Structure 1
């Protein structure tokens, strides 16, 4: 299927302003949550603050990556700087995993010896956190549809908003029933949810950075399309990968009969046109060979080392 990215895009400056506002809001919220967690004795609130700090870090990384990604290609980076956003997404998902593991560890320790917690402080700060997290998620919602980098940042804030809801519920249970155990339990639940989000999303940037084939294009469909073009006898050394998040590239060797060598240019044009129209592949490098001069011992995908 061709790529479809027909969303209404914000201009880069407007997007940058949204991210900048979110950074400042999360910075102030992190300070408030840590202070509130210390005063109230709530590990769940401090856990939410640590998660929120990771959100702020994610926002800063995403903001920097957006700026860098817009640089033009040069002799040092001939493909341009767009992949920096994939690197940023990987960093942000990795920090989510680190935070999740740490919170699990702290939560288990608190289960063994639950502390007293000031419930009202937890509820008040949790309510403020929920407003800020929901605002940040709203600011970046439309932007995350077309960017792996912004999606990682958005999931940070979305998970933090849900964590804030859990913190508020925990604070109310403490107020109503003096159930101190709820604080470490909620901490562990927050950590589990963080790990779930990161674990399900981190495969995307890893796949892209490993030059994996695009998940929404079947390799077999690409090979079949090329073989279906009149004049093509065979195809090998196929490399299908993502130059950037939304830019798919195809490199391959195509075999034609010696008698059709004069038709190479029309065949190439037809292949490129069909790749673009049917599969959304705009960038392709096609090397042609004749049956008598084709490289021996070739394989369909990749090449022998």
Structure 2
């Protein structure tokens, strides 16, 4: 059995100040919007406040996962703790979807039973939310391109920013046209927007935790590329998975055409590993080398199967 791998540096370079600053901003926005929502009677403002509070929790969870994922591997955790960030992204996604469903339910009730809303207070507090969330988004923008965990928190904040703009628009309609129904409609639109944004992260996180192959990977293409290498008769029992959103692993049984020496076999494995790394981005490869018969099935292996 042979194992090849290619190391790369941890792509995430987030600092404590980014998480701390974004968290404090969200808590301040939450307090202001809760007060404003109670005073104005705006469900949209209270919805935005609840969303901001969930963002604060999301940021704390993301930072904790960020720190844990950086721990070194050991004899019991041979892969290290890199999936802590994926787990946090999934928890954050589930939390955000739960909040969106709750707000959607409340908005539907308010849509059929509208109440008085003070548009001026709504606009003022929502503007505070826009400013605070804009700074938070800027703090996490860089890390969102490097980590699924940070991206989940970043999308939380983008959702908040969009929600605050929606609440401002609703406040203007209430103030100018006295449309009571616009407040729950804004809440419904915000909830649907959040759900649409977070679904992709939830799906990707679940796939990684279930050790699924990336969606854009074709196992058939990988097998074909390996079979084109000289002396390779067959590749089977192929398993591809991601450790996190960066590192890809492949393990497989490799059947050779001839009973070769170890040195010759090593050259073939090195060639295959280079192809898989350069063409498909697979960082780690592990092969069980066989000749004619596969012990796993106890039968002669057919070419191309």
TM-score, normalised to structure 2, is 0.90
Deviation for aligned residue 1:297: 6.5
Name the structure 1 match of 2:16.
Answer: 16
Contact 1:231/1:260 (8 A) holds in 2: no
Matches within 5 A, 1:72-91: 72-91=72-91
Match of 2:232 in 1: 232
Q: Give, in angstroms, the shift of residue 215 of structure 1.
A: 2.9
Counterpart residue number, 1:144: 144
Deviation for aligned residue 1:42: 0.6
Residue 5 (structure 2) aligns with: none
The residue that corresponds to 1:245 in the other structure is 245
Whether the aligned pair in 2 keeps the contact of 1:242 and 1:248 (CA below 8 Å) is yes
State the Cα distance separating 1:257 from its structure 2 match: 2.6
- Paired residues of 2:90 and 2:201 also in contact (CA < 8 A): no
- The residue that corresponds to 1:42 in the other structure is 42
Contact 2:253 2:288 in 1 (8 A): yes
Structure 2 residue runs without a partner (length 5+): 1-7
**Distance in 2 between the 1:292 and 1:192 partners?**
55
2:61 is matched with: 61
| 8 Å Cα contact 1:83-1:245 kept in structure 2 | no
Counterpart Cα distance in 1 of 2:220 and 2:141: 34
Secondary structure at the residue paired with 2:288?
strand
Deviation readout 1:68-124 (Å, 9 max, x if unpaired): 110000123110001000001001110111011101110111112111011111000
Q: CA deviation at 1:293?
A: 5.3
- Summarize the Cα distance change of 1:200–1:272 in structure 2 as closer, same or farther, 3 Å threshold: closer
* Correspondence for 2:278: 277
Alpha-carbon separation, structure 2, partners of 1:149 and 1:114? 38
| Shift in Å, 1:221 | 2.2
SS at match of 1:74: coil
1:154 matched residue in structure 2? 154
Counterpart-to-counterpart distance in 1, 2:52 and 2:294: 61
Partners of 1:226 and 1:202 lie apart in 2 by 32
**Secondary structure at 1:116's aligned position in 2?**
coil
Bigger mean CA offset, 255-264 vs 96-105: 255-264
* Partner residue, 1:175: 175
Structure 1, unaligned stretches of length 5 or more? Answer: 1-5, 301-305
Deviation at 1:145, TM superposition (A): 0.8
2:132 is the counterpart of 1:132: yes
Asked if the contact 1:257–1:290 (Cα under 8 Å) also holds between the matched residues in 2, the reply is yes
TM-score by length of 1: 0.90
Hey, what does 1:291 align to over in structure 2? 292
Q: Deviations over 1:19-71 (max 9, x none)?
A: 11000110111111111101111111000001111111111111111111100
- Give how far 1:197 is off: 1.5
The match for 2:268 is 267
Q: Distance in 1 between matches of 2:89 and 2:294?
A: 44
Distance 1:59 1:38 in 2: 25
- Matched residue of 1:146: which SS? coil
Q: Deviations over 1:223-256 (max 9, x none)?
A: 1121111011001110111022200001000001
| Residue aligned with 2:31, SS | helix
Mapped partners of 1:251, 1:11: distance in 2: 30
Distance in 2 between residues matched to 1:200 and 1:185, nearest whole Å? 24
1:303 corresponding residue in structure 2: none
Residue correspondence of structure 1 range 186-197 to structure 2 within 5 A = 186-197=186-197
Residues 126 and 168, structure 1, Cα contact 8 Å, conserved in 2: yes
Q: What is the rounded CA distance, in whole Å, between the counterparts of 1:63 and 1:172 in structure 2?
A: 37
**Secondary structure, aligned partner of 2:48:** helix
